[in-house]
Every structure is written in C-alpha cells, then in structure tokens.
Structure 1
Amino acid sequence: MNTIQVTVWNEYRHEKQNPLVQQIYPEGIHQAIAGYLREDEHLEVRTAVLDDHDHGLTDEVLDNTDVLFWWGHMAHGEVQDEIVEKVRQKVLNGMGLIVLHSGHGAKIFTELLGTNTQALKWRDDGEKEKLWVVEPGHLIVSGLGDYIELEKEEMYGERFEIPAPDELVFISWFEGGEVFRSGCCYRRGTGKIFYFRPGHETFPTYHQPEIIQVLRNAVYWAAPTEGADVTYGRTAPDREHQESH
C-alpha cells in the first residue's frame, strides 16, 4: 500500500488563550490528531497552523498533501483568500479535505459548498451526544457499532445551511432533543470532502478512540484515487467512432 500524505491544519488559538483547552490539548488539537494518525504506518503526517508562513500551506506542502484536515473557529477571517483559493484548486484537482467541527465556518468550506455554512443552531453546555451511523456500509464507519456516544459535547442543531450531502454517514442526537447532520460527504471536481461535526475545544473528543477511528477511516476514503483522464474545452469530433458506424 502506498503511503498517504496527510496535513493536519489548525488555527491554534484557543490552546494558547484558554487554560482548559491547553490542559486537554497541551500541544494543540493538530498535534493530538496527528499523533494518533501517526500510529498508522501507512500515513505520513505533518501539521500546519494559522500563524505559520502562508499558514503553513505553502506550495511545497500542498503539492505533497493527499488529505488535508481543517480545524478553525475564532480566526476564520484571518485566513488569506489567496491560500483559500490554492486549497480550493487542490481539492478540485483531487486532494481530500476533512473539515472538523467549527471548521464549518471556514472560508474554504463555504467556497467549496457555495452556501452560508455558518448558519445553524448551537449551545455549548456540554450535553451528551450520540452519533448514529446511518450508512453502515460506508468506509468512514468501518469498525464502528450503531453509534458513538460522547459524554459531553457542544450542541449543533438543524437547520444546518449546507447543500444536501452526496452521502450522509452520521446523524447526531443531543440531550436537548436537537439533531444534526454530523457526517457529510461531498465531491467537488475530483476531490472528496468530509465534514465531521464533533470536536469542541473544551472537551477531549479527539482523545476518544472511536473518533480517531473515524478520522483514520476518512483519510482512506478521501485520499486521491486514479481515474480516467479528463479534458476540457473545444474538442474535435471522434472521427474514429463515427467511421465505425
């Protein structure tokens, strides 16, 4: 099996400003996720953060990334539009993108989906969440049971202003009664996108084995695959096909 090149991107602001978040993720959410993914010998994992040069997403990094994770929240507006466009083009050309939790408001997610993806209900009271598997044959849920239970998480509730997913693999239920489309798959160009809702910074969600299993599975689902060559623009008729008839 070929090695999959993974970049875990995080704005890395809450961990520097909130002692509780720092206690849960002392080296940052990005390093926690990267550390767990590195346990898979088939994944080569690097990290990048907002305050790096070019947000850590240089041409060299993007050219050597098969799957990009994106976690952002309080600094979506600080992400340079030029970098967003570079990432968008990479996705359209086959790079996988996994958008986590509050990354629903990231410029790159909005650009690729074409709607106001920040429109939803929320409540950060630390309620129990059940992530129900609704597409049990999907690669992303491989190895899971009927649901994943999180003792404390932030509530996101419908209506979530996204296009209907190409594939919906998780629906969340919260103690307050709300539900949410929490595992949404899309294709844009030749790239694949997975939005995965859990991961509020003040809860240890990314230390839960089932969540890491989903993230690992998502890498394999989102990684580029070889397909047919694609051409665009004005083209000549297929004379050989016409003559055979």
Structure 2
Amino acid sequence: MMNVTVWNENRHEKTNPEVQAVYPEGIHGALSNFLKENHSVQTATLDQEDHGLSDELLNSTDVLIWWGHVAHEEVSDHIVEKVKNRVLDGMGLIVLHSGHFSKIFKTLMGTGCDLKWREADEKERLWVVDPSHPITKDIGEYIELEKEEMYGEHFDIPAPDELVFLSWFEGGEVFRSGCTYKRGNGKVFYFRPGHETYPTYHNKEIQKVIRNAVQWAAPVNRARPVYGNAKPLEAIGSN
C-alpha cells in the first residue's frame, strides 16, 4: 500500500452543472474512490492553504496525481518548486489530461507542451503501442471511449522515454496519449483522457491504467546522487 495524493484544481466542479453531474464528488473524489481500494489516498485542491500540498503531505506522498485546466497560472511557483524537488527525490508524478499545461509538467518537460484540441463529442481509440509495459497490464489492444475531447499532434513535448499509448480520434487526428519520463530519481507518466464533462474516470479500463501507473511510478528507495566538486576515490599520481 502506497501513499497517493490526488491534486485537482476543483474549479469546474464549483461552477459548471454539467461537470457537477458527472463528478458530484469532484474529479479528485472520483479518482480517489477507486484508488483507495488499494492505497492510502489523500486529496488536495487549489484553494486550500498551500494548495493542499504542505511539506508534511508532500514528504509522505509516494505518488502524486495532478489534474488542472483553467487555473494553471494560479498555482504558486513556490509550490511548483517543492513538487519538482520531490519528483527529483523520487516521488512519482502522474499528469492527467489538461495537466499537460500545468506549471509542474512544463517545468519538468522544459518545453511549451502545447497541442491542437477540439470539443466535438468524438470517439477516441487509445492503442497500446508498448504491450510489454507494466502500465498496460490487463489492457487489451486498445481502449475505446465513445466521447472525448480531441487532442492532436503536434504535441510540444520532449520525445518520451517510452510511448505507451497512441490515440486516434474520429476527426482523423492522432496523439501521443501515454508518455513516460524519468526525472532525477522520479518517474513521470502523462495520460491524456479525462475531459471534465465526460465520465472518463468512471471507465474501468481508464481506472485500470491509472492503477497500473501508480504501481509503475512507485519510488525507488535510494538517495539522490551527490553532485558538485568531488574528492578522488583513488590516489592521483603525478608525472
């Protein structure tokens, strides 16, 4: 059992009846409800003190899940720096859907993380392109979602360490929808599905991917490498 923290900006749920109907407990509530079957789960939201991410909580978190959309710029740079350092120390990070534009994801990627998008109730088919990857455990050749928001290439991210899912959309676009990265001692997984007006996080296969990703992103118990000026391990002879 790991300590998982689900972070959600929790703004759409307060203002949009359509989102409230789909996620009456908030997106963070929907995610935590299925994850707490196997893990100790806490939630945090933007409007809490320190965005809910106190030093105590972050230091005890094994894997952090991040969902944001309309309030990326309201996230404090100080909190982003703390989250980044925890990832470098070994905390796993799973970034969902529009979290591609979050400060923490852009900071860790070092690119603009922009893309094409369209809301047109399109079918999405997420193809498994790395069937040996642990994130795809118990997933078939693809996951089909009846309606989702389209994200299309070009996705302005670094080439993934591993590409796990590739999406096709009804309108013809494709998108790198499941990407892994290593940053410091930590592991990062970006997973595309999850527009707030669709019941994507109630889908059992999507839940399975997120469960698998939590297991994959689990910290490795080791100290960070030592950097800076180093004394020689062996005697250095002189000519």
TM over 0.5: yes
Q: CA RMSD in A?
A: 1.3
Partner of 2:234: 239
Alpha-carbon distance in structure 1 between the residues aligned to 2:143 and 2:43: 27
| Percent identity for Structure 1 against Structure 2 | 65
Report Cα offsets for 1:72-131 as digits up to 9, x if no partner: 0000010001000000110011010000000000000000000001x2110011100000
Gaps of 5+ in 2: none
Partner of 1:210: 205
Partner of 1:225: 220
Partner of 1:57: 53
Gaps of 5+ in 1: none
What count of residue pairs does the alignment treat as equivalent?
237
User: 1:110 pairs with 85, 106, 112, which one?
Assistant: 106
Question: 1:228 Cα shift?
Answer: 6.9
Amino acid at match of 2:92: G
Partner of 1:126: 121
Question: 1:39 Cα shift?
Answer: 1.5
Alpha-carbon distance in structure 1 between the residues aligned to 2:190 and 2:9: 17
Matches within 5 A, 1:67-82: 67-82=63-78
Which moves more between the two structures, 217-226 or 201-210?
Answer: 217-226
State the SS of the aligned residue for 1:55.
Answer: helix
Amino acid at match of 1:10: N
Alpha-carbon distance in structure 2 between the residues aligned to 1:24 and 1:144: 24
Normalising by the residue count of structure 2, what TM-score does the alignment of the two structures yield? 0.97
Question: 1:230 Cα shift?
Answer: 2.2
Amino acid at match of 1:67: V
Change (3 A) 1:59 1:228: closer
Partner of 1:149: 144
Amino acid at match of 1:60: E
Alpha-carbon distance in structure 2 between the residues aligned to 1:128 and 1:219: 26
Change (3 A) 1:144 1:81: same
